[in-house]
């Protein structure tokens, strides 16, 4: 396929695509927000009030990400790219499982847990190849380092870029997100009218907005099944997938 004719798949992913890799989602009954209060660990006020608690929270999640491995859904998307499809991933996840599976075009809407950043100048970012962030770890300007993630109440600097990417989708695949958080959930409205949208999520039946096709299966089954159809035909289309009740 030449670059201009290459079908362009845009994939919007959420915590559900990493669930089968052992990383907790947020709003399930055993989710992260059942264990911690957002206002204690995921807001700028929380960081100002108790930076050590926030840094410890993200150190625990960072260790979990490092122990996790990409699953069949992450790998299937990387395989599709290797087959010549243009695959742009817009993820709400702060893990690096898409990259470790081999995806090369990944936009992290809510930041990256394996990066630290200055608490006074967001342009100053530092990779965290190992270990975590401790009180007293400072940026080049001498200010305390913080996780390079978007907290509740903070702006989403990459949202405009994400809109531009979705606006060029030949097909929009949405995987493992409850569509509960703005502005990420609004990205579905940025897809061209003629672009099909399909949601892969065990709760797709209750989550999918009108007009969105649903595959009510875990990402590790639904995504590879769709990718198999697309790789076999060399094009992006919505097969009639025979998965349980839709
Ligand atoms: N395969 C596919 N989807 C799954 C799986 C799975 N194996 N397991 C769970 N899910 C689905 C759930 O049904 C749910 O719809 O994943 C979704 C997870 O929803 P949330 O926990 O709300 O996570 P997410 O949508 O990514 O949250 C968005 O909220 O807390 C903030 O910044 C955080 O990026 C996060 C944002």
Q: What is the pLDDT of residues 136-164, one digit of tens each?
A: 999 999 999 999 999 999 999 999 999 99
Max Cα-Cα span within the chain: 57
Using 50, 70 and 90 to split pLDDT, how confident is the model at 5?
A: confident
Using 50, 70 and 90 to split pLDDT, how confident is the model at 4?
A: low
Secondary structure E strands in the chain: 8-13, 86-91, 106-108, 111-118, 125-127, 145-149, 171-175, 196-200, 213-215
Residues having CB closer than 6 A to ligand 1 are 14-16, 19-20, 25-28, 31, 92, 110, 176-178, 180-181, 201-203, 207, 218-219
Q: What is the pLDDT of residue 240?
A: 75
- Could you confirm whether 110 is annotated as catalytic? yes
Does 217 have pLDDT greater than 50?
A: yes
Ligand 1 nearest atom to the CA of residue 14, by list position: 26
* Mean pLDDT computed over every residue of the chain: 95
Q: Give the residue, out of 15, 183, 188, 218, with the most ligand 1 atoms within 8 A of its beta carbon, to mutate for a pocket test.
A: 15
Ligand 1 centroid vs 15 CA: distance in angstroms?
A: 4
Concatenated DSSP letters for 97-138? HHHHHT---EEETTEEEEEEEESS-TT-EEE-SSS---TT-B
The structural domains of the chain, ordered by start, are 1-23+70-110+155-246 (3.40.50.1220), 24-67+115-149 (3.30.1600.10)
- pLDDT tens for 8-18 read 999 999 999 99
Ligand 1 centroid vs 208 CA: distance in angstroms?
A: 13
* Residue 117 β-bridge partners: 125, 146
Ligand 1 nearest atom to the CA of residue 207, by list position: 15
> How long a stretch of residues is the chain?
246
Contact yes or no for 230/76 (Cβ under 8 A): no
Q: What is the pLDDT of residue 74?
A: 98
């Amino acid at each position: 396929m030449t670059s201009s004719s290459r079908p362009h798949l845009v994939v919007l992913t959420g915590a559900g695509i990493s669930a089968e890799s052992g990383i907790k989602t947020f709003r399930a009954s055993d989710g992260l927000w059942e264990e911690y209060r957002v206002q204690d660990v995921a807001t700028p006020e929380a960081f100002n009030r108790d930076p050590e608690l926030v840094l410890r929270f993200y150190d625990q999640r960072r260790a979990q990400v490092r122990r996790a491995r990409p699953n069949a859904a992450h790998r299937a998307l990387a395989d599709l790219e290797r087959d010549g499809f243009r695959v742009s991933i817009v993820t709400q996840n702060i893990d690096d499982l898409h990259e470790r599976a081999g995806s090369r075009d990944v936009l992290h809407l809510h930041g990256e847990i394996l990066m630290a950043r200055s608490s006074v100048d967001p342009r100053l970012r530092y990779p965290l190849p190992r270990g975590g962030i401790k009180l007293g770890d400072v940026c080049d300007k001498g200010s305390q380092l913080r996780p390079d993630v978007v907290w509740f109440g903070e702006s989403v600097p990459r949202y405009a870029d994400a809109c531009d990417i979705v606006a060029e989708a030949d097909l929009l695949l949405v995987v493992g997100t409850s569509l509960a958080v703005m502005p990420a959930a609004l990205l579905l409205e940025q897809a061209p009218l003629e672009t099909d949208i399909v949601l892969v999520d065990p709760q797709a039946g209750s989550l999918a907005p009108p007009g969105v096709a649903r595959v009510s299966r875990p990402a590790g089954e639904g995504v590879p099944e769709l990718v198999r159809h697309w790789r076999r035909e060399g094009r992006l289309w919505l097969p009639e997938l025979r998965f349980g009740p839709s």
